[in-house]
Amino acid sequence: MTAAQPKSVIVTGGASGIGLETARVLTKKGWTAWLVDLKAEALEAAGRDIGLPPERGIVCNVSDEAAVEVALAKCCEKGTLAAVVNAAGIGLNRAALDTTVADFRRILDVNLIGTFLVSRAAAKYWIERRLKGSIVNITSVSGLTGNEGRAAYGASKGGQTVLTLIMAAELGRQGIRVNGVAPGPIETPMAKVMHSAEDRRHWIERIPLGRYGSPEEIGHAVAFLLSDEADYITGQILAVDGGFLHGGIHSSAVPPTR
């Protein structure tokens, strides 16, 4: 990719958190970013923040099939769509027995069905035009392990993870790569709502690097998976979690080194 021939990337959930910072990273690397989110005011503010023209912010409910088709068409009017980052997501920290069916469906609609609809629309666009493309889904470590309080959220992210693997297997021969980035605890507006002070203490105790990550760090991982350097990588879930998934137990026989 060169500055003279920028490639377009759609970032859902692009008005805040991981989506916004990923769009910022990609813009700095020469991509033409399109932000897709639910709230017009937030999109306008996000666009100003990273220096995008207003038309690059598209209001869309990713769980609405017709709205997704319209949004994709707008993003593809100028330039060639080369990539999609599915960062739109909502969270819930609630025990399984206290989770309502309405809560569960709401989480699945945005996190899982939204990812499916956007990915499917983009893949059809590429296949119809015989183009290569790349999809990166922002999953979660909560979709890879049994974190308490994540019945709905973890199930949606687990489904997103398996969807990533299936679409990678189905679309590879068409030149479409599909990967996922599974963040651990990241300093986002959603984490501030979902994580109490006690939650934060428990997370940090389990993270070998001893801290929360930043949205920008997720953006850099996404940028790598979208880059030409990752052209032989598909069907992978990259955990960007400070070592959380493999942190293991804490032993009194091994004193802390920090």
Q: Considering the domain boundaries, does residue 25 fall inside one? A: yes
Q: Where residue 5 falls among pLDDT bands split at 50, 70, 90? A: low
Q: Considering the domain boundaries, does residue 200 fall inside one? A: yes
Q: What is the 3-state secondary structure (H, E, C) of 179-199?
A: EEEEECCECCHHHHHHCCHHH
Q: How many Cβ atoms are within 10 Å of 209's Cβ, its own excluded? A: 14
| Tally of structural domains, the chain | 1
Average confidence score pLDDT of the chain? 92
Please report where in the chains the tokens 């032989």 appear, as a residue. 232
β-bridge pairing 81-86 and 8-12? parallel
Amino acid making up residue 183: P
26-77 tens-digit pLDDT: 999 999 999 999 999 999 999 999 999 999 999 999 999 999 999 999 999 8
Helices (H), 10-93: 17-28, 40-50, 65-75
Tokens encoding 230: 């990752």
Q: What is the pTM of this model?
A: 0.91
Judge whether 1 and 31 are in contact, CB under 8 Å. Answer: yes
Q: Where residue 227 falls among pLDDT bands split at 50, 70, 90? A: very high
CATH code assigned at 102: 3.40.50.720
Q: Considering the domain boundaries, does residue 253 fall inside one? A: no
Is residue 149 pLDDT above 90, yes or no? no
Catalytic residues: 153
CA proximity to 10, closest of 62, 82, 59:
82
Q: Considering the domain boundaries, does residue 171 fall inside one? A: yes
218: containing domain: 8-240
**What mean pLDDT is predicted for residues 3-18?**
86
State the sign of the Cα–Cα–Cα–Cα dihedral 50, 75, 116, 167.
negative
Q: Considering the domain boundaries, does residue 256 fall inside one? A: no
Rounded CA-CA distance 147/136 in Å is: 23
Tokens encoding 56: 């690059």
Q: Considering the domain boundaries, does residue 255 fall inside one? A: no
Show the beta-strand stretches assigned E in 25-156.
Answer: 32-37, 57-59, 81-86, 133-138
CB neighbours of 56 closer than 8 A, spacing ≥ 6?
Answer: 32, 33, 34, 35, 47
Is residue 82 pLDDT above 60, yes or no? yes
Distances (CA, A) of 70 to 49, 64, 75, 121, 122: 25, 10, 9, 10, 12
State the sign of the Cα–Cα–Cα–Cα dihedral 236, 71, 189, 227.
positive
CB neighbours of 252 closer than 8 A, spacing ≥ 6?
Answer: none
Q: Considering the domain boundaries, does residue 221 fall inside one? A: yes
Comparing 193 with 86, the larger pLDDT belongs to 86
Rounded CA-CA distance 148/126 in Å is: 39
**What mean pLDDT is predicted for residues 185-200?**
84
Is residue 248 pLDDT above 90, yes or no? no
Amino acid making up residue 19: G
Rounded CA-CA distance 133/172 in Å is: 10
Q: Considering the domain boundaries, does residue 236 fall inside one? A: yes
